């Protein structure tokens, strides 16, 4: 049972509450909490009534709460408009029959004696028009409508696999894909509901600060995959094969197996169309799930002449379709379409039997993928047109880090609650051997500095060697500058 709470209910619709009272032997007997009420609900089922006639073991003597009974429900329905009352569920026939049954006084003598003992304690506490009742939120049993129940914690989400992706694709549900490069980003993206997490070789740019993705190695991909896998519970985790890691089918299969075996990825991704079909077949034959990538392929940025949209002409669009179909026939379970005109991406999507994941390819694909840092506004260099900053977190993060640095400078952090102490006896022993500890350092004196319009101290001007000098003296351009030069 969860912790009871106080709820305001009307006396006419009082929820029946029973408790288990401990006896001298430790066992419990079931009695109504309010002695002015009946011993049990008049429409209670016989199985419920039987619980009043047997002792409960000591470990079960705790509060038990009932839901509202059929009598209470009938009162509620009578107070509702006809339309609302007609929509409510009918009262069970068994509850009406049980309400007419009585039990002998001998069978209930133990409970009645306990009720009489509590009468003196409960006198004067008759319910008013509105009464506060401590009740359990979830009704254990009872026929009527239950009080409001707070939503329970959701069960652990089921792991997304290829079959789940296929069901989403066939039902027309868009697939959400995000990049993730370590435990924090994977944990956040997975918890946000992403269907697929891609440990992309874009980590070379957004994590390692490189100019492009061609410097990333297989070992680096394994390292980041391991971290991202620890933060992934639900999403399908896909790892990029970096530039140069799949020059031959054998190398593709070997490095792909390494990303799955050591990096703990669920699938791998490679760039290229017809030219990469043999590599895809080798990896599929090795037991790997493979995602393809056509259109703009970042690993070939130099060959493509920079960051350029692919497939603008009919001939290029036909070539992209052939690339995507070759990947499908080789065994890819999905194909990424990057920087492709929206009509071309929609055409390819309609021709394929596997999902397409678009990035800069319009809304006609089976799903979308975005870079984690682009979504949160954390990348300070390239900002592609197809990306959207759903938040700009660099400013708040920088401000928080600045507050930390300022707190350290003025010795306001760490505070006493952030520190650990010793017992008095151990402290005295330590002082007897080494002497009393030195006093805490005093906070630094605040320099007398002018205030900026935003309320922060404006930095003192730095002397510049190129400023004009006269007779070895620096020219002063204002009274404030003269005061600062004179030390205040």
Scan for tokens 């429409």, then name that residue.
43
136 an active-site residue? no
DSSP string, 213-237: STT--HHHHHHHHHHHHHT-SSSEE
CB of 271 closer than 8 Å to CB of 244: no
DSSP string, 175-225: EEEEE--SHHHHHHHHHTT-SEEEE-TTHHHHTT--SSSTT--HHHHHHHH
Catalytic residue among 338, 426, 431, 433: 338
Neighbours of 359 (CB within 10 A): 25
CB of 142 closer than 8 Å to CB of 172: no
How far from 252 is each of 38, 197, 255, CA to CA, in Å? Answer: 77, 21, 5
Residue 153: asked if its preceding bond is cis (omega within 30°), the reply is: no
H or E element, residue 97: helix 93-99
Spatial separation of the C-alpha atoms in residues 298 and 310, rounded to whole Å: 12
Burial class (CB in 10 A: 0-12, 13-18, 19+), 201: buried
Residues annotated catalytic, as ranges = 338
């Amino acid at each position: 049972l969860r912790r009871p709470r106080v709820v305001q209910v009307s006396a006419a619709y009082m929820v029946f509450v029973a408790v288990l009272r401990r006896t001298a032997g430790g066992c419990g007997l079931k009695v109504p909490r309010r002695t002015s009420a009946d011993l049990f609900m008049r429409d209670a089922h016989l199985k419920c009534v039987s619980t009043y006639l047997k002792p409960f073991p000591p470990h079960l003597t705790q509060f038990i709460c009932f839901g509202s009974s059929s009598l209470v429900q009938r009162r509620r329905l009578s107070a509702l408009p006809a339309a609302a009352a007609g929509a409510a569920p009918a009262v069970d026939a068994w509850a009406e029959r049980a309400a007419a049954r009585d039990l002998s006084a001998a069978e209930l003598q133990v409970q009645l004696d306990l009720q009489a003992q509590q009468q003196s304690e409960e006198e004067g506490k008759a319910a008013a028009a509105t009464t506060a009742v401590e009740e359990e939120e979830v009704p254990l049993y009872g026929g009527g409508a239950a009080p409001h129940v707070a939503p329970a914690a959701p069960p652990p989400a089921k792991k997304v696999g290829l079959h789940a992706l296929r069901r989403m694709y066939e039902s027309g549900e868009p697939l959400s894909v995000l990049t993730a490069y370590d435990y924090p980003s994977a944990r956040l993206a997975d918890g946000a509901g992403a269907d697929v997490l891609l440990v992309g070789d874009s980590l070379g740019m957004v994590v390692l600060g490189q100019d492009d993705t061609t410097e990333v190695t297989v070992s680096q991909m394994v390292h980041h995959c391991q971290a991202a896998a620890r933060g992934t519970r639900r999403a399908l985790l896909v790892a990029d094969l970096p530039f140069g890691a799949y020059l031959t089918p054998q190398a593709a299969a070997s490095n792909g197996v390494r990303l799955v075996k050591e990096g703990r990825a669920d699938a791998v991704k490679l760039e290229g169309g017809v030219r990469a079909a043999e590599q895809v077949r080798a990896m599929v034959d090795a037991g790997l799930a493979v995602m393809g990538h056509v259109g703009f392929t970042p690993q070939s940025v130099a060959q493509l002449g920079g960051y350029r949209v692919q497939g603008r002409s009919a001939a290029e669009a036909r070539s992209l379709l052939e690339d995507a179909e070759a990947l499908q026939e080789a065994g890819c379970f999905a194909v990424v379409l990057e920087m492709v005109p929206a009509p071309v991406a929609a055409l390819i999507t309609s021709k394929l039997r596997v999902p397409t994941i678009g990035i800069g390819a319009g809304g006609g694909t089976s799903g979308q993928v975005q870079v984690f840092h682009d979504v949160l506004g954390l990348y300070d260099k390239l900002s592609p047109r197809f990306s959207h900053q759903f938040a700009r977190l660099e400013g708040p993060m920088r401000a928080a880090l600045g507050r930390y640095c300022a707190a350290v400078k003025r010795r306001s952090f760490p505070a006493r609650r952030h520190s650990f102490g010793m017992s008095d006896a151990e402290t005295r022993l330590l002082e007897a051997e080494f002497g009393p500890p030195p006093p805490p350092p005093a906070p630094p004196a605040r320099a007398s500095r002018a205030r900026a319009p935003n309320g922060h101290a404006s930095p003192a001007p730095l002397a510049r060697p190129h400023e004009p000098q006269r007779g070895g003296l620096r020219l002063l351009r204002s009274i404030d500058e003269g005061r600062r030069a004179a030390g205040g």
